[in-house]
Amino acid sequence: MKLKKTLFVLTLMISASSMYAQDDTGLGPLITDRPDATESPNTVPVGFVQFETGAFFTREENSGLTTESTTFNTMLVRYGILDNMELRLGWNFTETRFSLNDMELEDVLSGLDPLLLGAKVAIAQENGLLPDIGLIGHVFLPFTAGRDYKPEYTGVDFRFSFGHTLSERSSLSYNLGAQWGGDSPEAEYVYTIAYGYAITDAFGAYVELYGELPEDSGPNHLWDAGITYLVNDDLQLDATIGSGIRSDQELLISAGLSYRLDLRNKK
């Protein structure tokens, strides 16, 4: 039932997306940080704001305990303030349910995740073997979270993002970084690598490997794959499916949209 509810929410989001469609800005297609875990090294143009939102469902199982989480709004707002810098703000609403040996438990967690504040800086543009390079950093504020999702520690993360053009229709992107906070003070080193291919001018596809390497516990390795559809240069829809390789995650399913607005000379 939870999965059906999630798919219903995603359908409503995509059906409503046409209200956000804008005239093309002349900047070319928007470059997004969703739907994959790999962040792009590119920033939003100065004076533009980009909204990237969606919903996703995950199911994990460990020793008979099944955890199902539905995030209904994965909103990330990106605003270009310099030619090579953007500000970032994100906030999610999540619901988590549990079952033990297929018996659903009464405990249900629901509420806002910690607010994300951060920035991205474009360091270098692609030049031959030198890739596009960006640096991204965030802080996650515990006092902004709902009671059920308030972590013990303030979260901090950073990652370097790299992008290579392989051909006119294909690209390779990857991230390397680390994160701290949440309910554990230990550092987790993170990695991602994604291959993207433009099937047509509107449809794209990708496949990705990603994971975390905690200091004091075993690594988590996962994969996902998805498609994107460019409605116009300023509006993109996406859908993703994935699972764990060495992880408790059994299923990931996600869909969403990204849209770009021109705020220059707006009153």
Asked whether residue 62 is assigned to any structural domain, the reply reads yes
For the record, the structure tokens of 117 come out as 């504040």
Asked whether residue 79 is assigned to any structural domain, the reply reads yes
For the record, the structure tokens of 208 come out as 């990705």
Asked whether residue 38 is assigned to any structural domain, the reply reads yes
* 3 state SS of 78: strand
Distance, CA of 213 to CA of 218 (rounded, Å): 7
Q: Rounded to two decimals, what is the model's pTM?
A: 0.88
Asked whether residue 245 is assigned to any structural domain, the reply reads yes
Q: How many CB atoms within 10 Å of residue 83?
A: 9
For the record, the structure tokens of 82 come out as 């310099």
Least confident window among 101-105, 111-115, 181-185, 201-205: 181-185
> Using 50, 70 and 90 to split pLDDT, how confident is the model at 205?
very high
Asked whether residue 267 is assigned to any structural domain, the reply reads no
CATH number at residue 246: 2.40.160.40
Asked whether residue 131 is assigned to any structural domain, the reply reads yes
Asked whether residue 266 is assigned to any structural domain, the reply reads no
- Structural domains in the chain (count): 1
Which residues, at least 6 apart from 18, have a Cβ–Cβ distance to it below 8 Å?
A: none
Asked whether residue 11 is assigned to any structural domain, the reply reads yes
- The answer to whether 236 and 34 have CB atoms below 8 angstroms apart is no
> Using 50, 70 and 90 to split pLDDT, how confident is the model at 175?
very high
Q: Which domain holds residue 106?
A: 2-261
- The answer to whether 225 and 206 have CB atoms below 8 angstroms apart is yes
Least confident window among 21-35, 43-57, 68-82: 21-35
Model pLDDT for residues 124-156, shown as the tens digit of each residue: 999 999 999 999 999 999 999 999 999 999 999
